[in-house]
Every structure is written in structure tokens, then in C-alpha cells.
Amino acid sequence: MPESQNRIHLAVALDGAGWHPAAWREPDARPLDLFTPAYWVEQVQQAERGLIDFVTIEDSLRLQSDDPLEPDARTDRVRGRLDATLIAARVAPVTSHIGLVPTAIVTHTEPFHLSKAIATIDYASTGRAGVRVQTDTRADTNAHFGRREIQPLRREDVAAIASPEVQQRLRDSFDEAAAYVEVLRRLWDSWEDDAEIRDVATGRFIDRDKLHYIDFESRWFSVKGPSITPRPPQGQPIVAALGHATVPYQLIARSTDVGFVTPHDAAQATAIVAEIRAEQEAAGRANDTVHVFADLVVFLDDTREQAASRRQRLDERAGADYTSDALVFTGTPSELADLLLDWQAAGLSGYRLRPGTVPHDLARITNALVPELQRRGAFRTSYEASTLRGLLGLPRPSNHYRDHDHDHPATTTTTTAADVA
């Protein structure tokens, strides 16, 4: 296989002290620093030294919980977070190449606010911003806002997840997310690239004819626009989402640039990629590049036995065996490289690795896994592009409104939810 075809993309998912609930109790952990800027800067700079494509930063609008549906009262787990978009903004000026993709809960936030926040990070990073959109229908999250009624996902709903009623509720939630992403994209395009004139002699700072109302109407919100922030350096920052089943796969296929999925073997990866490609075609996006990254939680050491022993120690401290929605890999960097290259044949673009503990597993990714992949000609040896879109091989998109005819400034055709469904 030619080297260019053998290349994979790598992302790292950052979450506190690591993805194992006992990670904060490791000897090299830094629990006292979790809420300091330096802690996050050092993690992202470590990932950048490993030439990682981008980092994602976990976030939520509620305290973490071991229970996926309800709050818990545990005091032996990390609880509390900093805002992911603000972490990305802090890290942007002290990094040079790595992409920054904070998580945003779209169920309870306004797309106008998020659009200008991500555009601002794109400016601060000179073209390295993205956003991972996530839904949340938990009752305790909704109780923080109280602006609308949301029917929470209950245990009995999970037990009946395949029922038409529950599936419709899931579709409604993800349809809202798709509409939200469409508003983000329209707002990023609501300023044409050359809308800013900045001509001191004539006294014209902007060309008002190149700012556009987006006039978006849906069952969830209406947004007039234009944005208050000029079009971002990338034109369109990267949009990503995590999916585990058909409904979120549809969101990935019709609305995102990068989808994160959780196969547990190569055959399952092949089936998931095929389903997303079919959904792309159904959505009229067959010619668009949508990267599919497989998520893996990783515990890496010099030998498989050392990795297994460390994971066992962590499990004992946590009081339970660690499980995840993603495959949990425990072994050596060389063995992980074997798995990544084996799964690549399924059509995956790359992988998002969740370090079991930080700094240990993050350092093993950058200092051991990356060199192993480089030796096999499967990973870059330097950053080849200055933007996140460039790193992912995505062109800078043309402006949605540039070629439209307008009767007066800031005018477009009205967009409805049906246009993105």
C-alpha cells in the first residue's frame, strides 16, 4: 500500500485526570491542578509534540455521574469541570498546529452564542477550531435551565430503546442538533470573506451588502442573523459528533465533518462505516468528506502484563471493573499500532484515543505509539498544514451566500428545519 494511503489521523480525548474513574489517585496524577490553566495547556502541548491532529475537550452541563441517567452521591470520583470552549480559548495562543475541539451541549445552549465563541477560537488559533456537538435530555441537566420542558430519558426508555416512541424522541433530539449545526454553519457564512473593507480614506469599515440575514426558522428556535463575528479563518470550523447507533449516525452523516464511533472489532467498524456512508448518500452528501474515527480507551505500558496490572490496580481503587462505551485496549504501543492498522481496512479515517490516565497514557500515545506508527509509515513526521481543515484534508469551503442574488443588504432565503432533515 502506498505510504499516503497508509496514513491515519489521530485525535486525543481529554477529560480531567483521564478516563478511568480512579485516574486522579495515581502517583503521577495532579488532582490539585485540574482547574488551573497550566494543567490544560500542558496536556494539549504534549499532544501537539506528538503531532496529533486535534484534541477534544469533554464538557457537560451537570456534575459527572457513574450513573448514565441520574446524579450519584459518590465522593471518590472527580467532580466538576471548567468550560471546554474557554479552555480551548486559553490554549489557542500557546499552541501552533494542533486542532482544538471543545464539546458543546446543544440541547440547552443557543447556536448564536456558540457560533461566535467557536469563530473567536478559530481567530485566536489562526484556523484550528472545531466543536463537538452533544445532546443531553437528562432531568438534572434540564433542571439547571427551566426554560422548556424536556421529556427525560428514563431507565424504562433504555429498556425499550427500540420502541417507536423512544426512537421518535431520539430522532427529535438529534433533529434539533442537526438544525443547530445548520444555524452554526449559516452564521459562520453570514459574513462574506471580503465583507470587511477597513478603508480609512473612504470611512467604510464593512460592505453591508456582504452581510446576510440567515432567517432560520424551526420548531426549536428562530435565528435572524447575521453574526457579529466575521467569517472564521477556516470559513467553516470543524463540526464533530459521537454516535453509537443509527439515529446519531444520521446526524454524523448529514451534518458533521468528523464522526466518532465505538466499534469493538474490525467487522463492527466495517458495518458502522457502511451505514454512515449510506446515510451520507441519502442526505445528498455522497461527495462530501466525512471522516469516521473509532474511539478507544487506552492503557499503554512496555508490556501487556504491566498494562493489565496497572488497570487492575485502578479497578481495585475504583471498587469496580472499568467499562466503557468504547473498546478498552490494554497492552503495548506496538500492539495498539497493530490494531489501528488492522481496523483501518474497515474504512476508518483515524482514531480518537481516550487516555486511561493522565499524564501516563497521554505520554505513551505521543512518545511511543506515534513513533511506532511513524516507523511503519502510517503517521505524519511533521505538521503539513496550518489549519485543522488542512490537517484533515478538507478544503476551505466557499461561502453559502456569496453567489446568491440579494435585493438589499443582509437578506437570504428563509431556511427551515425541513431543509436539514
Each domain of the chain, given as residue ranges in start order, spans 3-419
Of all helices (H) and strands (E), which one includes residue 282? helix 266-282
Question: What is the pLDDT, as a whole number, of residue 153?
Answer: 82
**Per-residue pLDDT reduced to its tens digit, 330-360:** 999 999 999 999 999 999 999 999 999 999 9
Name 258's bridge partners.
Answer: 240, 291
**Which of the four pLDDT bands, split at 50, 70 and 90, describes residue 275?**
very high
- pLDDT digits over 25-64, tens only? 999 999 999 999 999 999 999 999 999 999 999 999 999 9
What is the tens place of the pLDDT at every residue in 235-246?
Answer: 999 999 999 999
Q: What does the pLDDT look like over 288-323, one tens digit per residue?
A: 999 999 999 999 999 999 999 999 999 999 999 999
| DSSP category for residue 100 | E
Question: What is the spatial distance between Cα 264 and Cα 297, in angstroms, rounded to a whole number?
Answer: 11
What is the reported pLDDT for 3? Answer: 41
Average pLDDT over residues 171-200: 96
DSSP string, 184-197: HHHHHTSB-TT-EE
> What pLDDT, on a 0 to 100 scale, did the predictor assign at position 100?
99
Burial class (CB in 10 A: 0-12, 13-18, 19+), 300: buried
pLDDT of residue 5: 56
CA distances from 290 to 97, 252, 257 (A): 21, 8, 5
Q: pLDDT value at position 414? A: 40
Task: Give pLDDT, residue 421.
Answer: 38
420 has pLDDT over 80: no
The crossing angle, in degrees rounded to 10, of helices 111-124 and 164-188 is 50
Classify strands 415-416 and 350-355 as parallel, antiparallel or unpaired.
Answer: unpaired
Would you say residue 160 has pLDDT above 50? yes
Q: What's the chain's average pLDDT?
A: 93
pLDDT in tens, 78-98: 999 999 999 999 999 999 999
Quote the DSSP letter at residue 418: G
DSSP label of 373: H
Instruction: Tell me which amino acid residue 206 is.
Output: I
Q: What does the pLDDT read at residue 403?
A: 66
- The reported pTM is 0.94
- Cβ neighbourhood burial of 334 (10 Å; 0-12, 13-18, 19+): middle
Gap between the Cα atoms of 241 and 97, Å rounded: 22
Q: Name the architecture of domain 3-419.
A: Alpha-Beta Barrel (3.20)
Output the nine-digit C-alpha cell for 139.
432531568
How far apart (Å, rounded) are the C-alpha atoms in residues 355 and 352? 10
Contact 389, 99 (CB under 8 A): no
CA distance 393 to 223: 31
Indicate the length of the chain as a whole number. Answer: 421
178, 255 Cβ separation under 8 angstroms: yes
CB 55 within 8 A of CB 99: yes
d(CA 125, CA 148) in angstroms, rounded, equals 35
